[in-house]
Structure 1
């Protein structure tokens, strides 16, 4: 077994054990506490907060993917090419405004909790998926499309049977980037009462408990590394199936 596979498996096992039985790791965090403060976050279930964090990120990424890919398809069709500048302006909104500003605007509209965090992550995740969809679709060679046309495929068949499968590794690279951005950004959702790992970090900052801050940060970091690694494996597998070099995937 390769060293990378062993490290990956070890990280997964340690992460699962920590969020399921955090008290078993208390001895590691006790040196970071003062005045007999708790070494392990005790204001909620770490497992529940992790699952809620992942849920918010997954829903926001799914919504971003649906809209960004749909826009990418639309502007690469002859009938939608003229809307490319407008589409770029729309997907850039999330990058123009900081997430905390989006939260400040969203809270009066939808209230506290998960909804404003979802909106911020949704807007922030659009750009990488949209740009990679454009790149993937425009990289499909005219010869390939001409061959598909010669086989009698209509525009819809060419899109779903030729263009999207060939563009999939590049689109997935954009989704991977969006997920990693959202995993870190979602921590600020706790400032508007959204359940997630940001709650652990904020509790540590408020009580000056470095152990809490480190716990929340480590779980988010490990999740980001493992998800990035996992999606990267899928990208490379898809690229190999298409006979492409993995260096061609952004």
Structure 2
């Protein structure tokens, strides 16, 4: 079963790379989905460059969300920050309370069209899973472990960096994985405000009633989500194995 899973992942990767690098090879597959001699393959831009732009937007937002959510999670698990936990939860829930489309509508008048409003929407949308997993990881560190570290003369900072964060890392990584995978699909709406990405392909298909374009955009996003999810899961397993833990995603 493990060998079969690896082969399926490799097949998906080969399919994705081949399609975005030489999409015209697949024209016969998509031709039956077109009408009135419409193009079978998206021809208003490079699928390769749109994929790179899509990934750049998602990972830039994920990096910003990770930094803010992890730092906030650390702060509210310290004695001096406990009282700010309810406020912090309210703040990171904003991204989930307001749909990304609504965030775009608010952001565009403030920062203009392009990548910026999309990054803001994805940043806000990605905070909650990372923040909650950071809280869970840090609060689930065994008090006995912390007492042992304290007994060894480690300062609070040393315990955080040398004990708490390493032990919480698999759970934090699971939150980052969830955030990234969710935003891979959510990022497609960025094309409604002129952000470069795979949403352009889907929107072009909707505007021209070309099912082939819609399917191509959706297929690339789906393959990216599957492959990136599996890659991040592998990282979690490696980290958890080194720590002698059960991977956080194993039960998901």
Coarse TM-score class (shorter-chain normalised): over 0.9
Q: How does 1:137-216 map to 2 (within 5 A)?
A: 137-216=138-217
Alpha-carbon offset, residue 246 of structure 1:
2.9
Q: Counterpart of 1:120? A: 121
Which stretches in structure 2 are left out of the alignment for 5+ residues? none
TM-score (norm 2): 0.97
C-alpha distance in 2 between matches for 1:247 and 1:46: 34
Partner of 1:84: 85
Mean Cα displacement is larger for which, 107-116 or 235-244?
Answer: 235-244
Give the direction of change, closer, same or farther, for the CA distance of 1:174–1:247 in structure 2 (3 Å limit): closer
Map 1:220-231 → 2, pairs under 5 A: 220-231=221-232
1:182–1:32: structure 2 CA closer, same or farther, 3 Å change rule?
Answer: same
CA RMSD of aligned residues (A): 1.1
Structure 1 CA distance for aligned equivalents of residues 199 and 157 of structure 2: 43
1:185-244 CA distance string (max 9 Å, x none) = 000000000000000000000000000000000000000011111111111121111111
Q: Counterpart of 2:79 in 1: which secondary structure? A: coil
State how far apart, in whole Å, the 2-side matches of 1:121 and 1:50 are: 17
Contact 2:129 2:178 in 1 (8 A): yes
**TM-score, L = length of structure 1:** 0.98
* Aligned-residue offset at 1:50: 0.3
Q: How much does 1:248 deviate?
A: 7.4
Helix, strand or coil at the partner of 1:173: helix
Q: State the distance in 1 between where 2:249 and 2:55 align.
A: 29
> Is the alpha carbon distance of 1:174 and 1:248 closer, same or farther for their aligned partners in structure 2, counting shifts above 3 Å?
closer
Off by >4 Å, runs of 4+ in structure 1: 247-250
Deviations 1:100-126 (A, max 9, x none): 000000000000000000000000000
